[in-house]
Homo-oligomer: A and B are copies of this chain.
Amino acid sequence: MRAVSIRQGAIEIEEHPDPLPGSGEVLVRVRAAGLNGADMMQRAGRYPAPAGSPQDIPGLELAGEVAALGPGASRFAVGERVMAIVGGGGQAELALVHERQLMPVPEALSWTEAGGLPEVFLTAHDALFAQAQLRPGERLLVHGGAGGVGTAAIQLGALTGARVLATVRDPSLRPAVAQLGAQVIAPEGFGEHGPFDVILELVGAPNIAENLSALRGGGRIVVIGVGAGAKAEVSLLALMAARGRIHGSTLRARPLEEKALASRRLEREVLPAFDEGRLRVPIAQTYPLQRAAEAYERFAQGGKLGKIVLEL
């Protein structure tokens, strides 16, 4: 099979032996695989894949058809449309996924949409609900609303009856983000639009002090991206006064059972809304596998709305 490889920071396409599904595993014929911020970090050598995941093939999500079943795998039949997050190895023609991590692809979604769905919707759903426990009527601020996780979080917040605000740096992207269900504001002085019950922090340390001062009593900040800096000065008195909490989260390093649980929650609570037309996967651009290097360059440039997806 062909797969994306990272060689000294360069993106190449290489031949690998076809993998064989082990106990409980499903071999997926990948049709689409989204790019994520973590791929950029891995390309820069700063974010190795967790143990047990392919170390040499990037890719944290995929969608495709079930090609073969390992011993004991029974949730899906050969030919069914499935999608999943994976610890690595998603950007390949074939990928192994434990059946408990797989989700069915909603009928309304194309391969491209399905390939760009799992990572950002699982991340946003886990952050907003499993962690921050967002409730209807609460005020949610999404930092970095034009990014993949941002667009998912805005839609999930609006779907749940939260009042959603989102910061977007690039003015040209603001109208499209507003259409997802958010009041779009500039990053400068965002705190004036508070107080917020939940803040999804996708930017990093520079926002933390203003987040804290704009937090309503009992508010929650969930940090899932630190591209703009990771060392935050936190006023513990402000945190105490707000009776607030700051969560840090990543999906990638979690054990199978937690990823499986998050996938079951998404199946039950979120996937039906795609078939009902109430949620969508914004796609910025697609590339065929052989042009993966261009896809990575496009992702690194920023200034896009929605996902960059490889098609296979």
Interface residues of A (CB under 8 A from B): 131, 204-205, 208, 217, 223-224, 226, 230-250, 253-254
Q: Note all chain B residues with C-beta closer than 8 A to A253.
A: 217, 241, 243
Query: Once the chains bind, are A241 and B246 in contact (CB under 8 Å)?
Result: no
Q: Note all chain B residues with C-beta closer than 8 A to A233.
A: 231-234
Query: Once the chains bind, are A248 and B254 in contact (CB under 8 Å)?
Result: no
Query: Once the chains bind, are A240 and B236 in contact (CB under 8 Å)?
Result: no
In terms of DSSP, what is the predominant structure of the interface of chain A? mixed
- Rounded to whole angstroms, the CA-CA distance of A244 and B246 in the bound complex is 8
Query: Once the chains bind, are B232 and A243 in contact (CB under 8 Å)?
Result: no
- Quick one: which of B231, B234, B238, B248 contacts A242, CB cutoff 8 A? B248
Q: Note all chain B residues with C-beta closer than 8 A to A237.
A: 226, 230, 248
Distance from A216 Cβ to chain B, minimum over Cβ atoms (Å): 13
- Quick one: which of B234, B236, B246, B249 contacts A243, CB cutoff 8 A? B249
- How many copies the complex holds: the figure is 2
- Rounded to whole angstroms, the CA-CA distance of A234 and B131 in the bound complex is 19
- Quick one: which of B131, B226, B236 contacts A231, CB cutoff 8 A? B236
Query: Once the chains bind, are B236 and A205 in contact (CB under 8 Å)?
Result: yes
- Quick one: which of B205, B223, B245 contacts A248, CB cutoff 8 A? B245
Q: Note all chain B residues with C-beta closer than 8 A to A205.
A: 236
- Rounded to whole angstroms, the CA-CA distance of A253 and B239 in the bound complex is 13
Query: Once the chains bind, are B235 and A240 in contact (CB under 8 Å)?
Result: no
Distance from A282 Cβ to chain B, minimum over Cβ atoms (Å): 25
- Quick one: which of B243, B245, B254 contacts A250, CB cutoff 8 A? B243
Query: Once the chains bind, are A248 and B236 in contact (CB under 8 Å)?
Result: yes
Q: Note all chain B residues with C-beta closer than 8 A to A254.
A: 243
- Rounded to whole angstroms, the CA-CA distance of A243 and B262 in the bound complex is 15
Query: Once the chains bind, are A223 and B243 in contact (CB under 8 Å)?
Result: no
- Rounded to whole angstroms, the CA-CA distance of A248 and B235 in the bound complex is 10
- Rounded to whole angstroms, the CA-CA distance of A137 and B244 in the bound complex is 26
A242 and chain B: residue at smallest CB distance: B248
Q: Note all chain B residues with C-beta closer than 8 A to A244.
A: 247-248
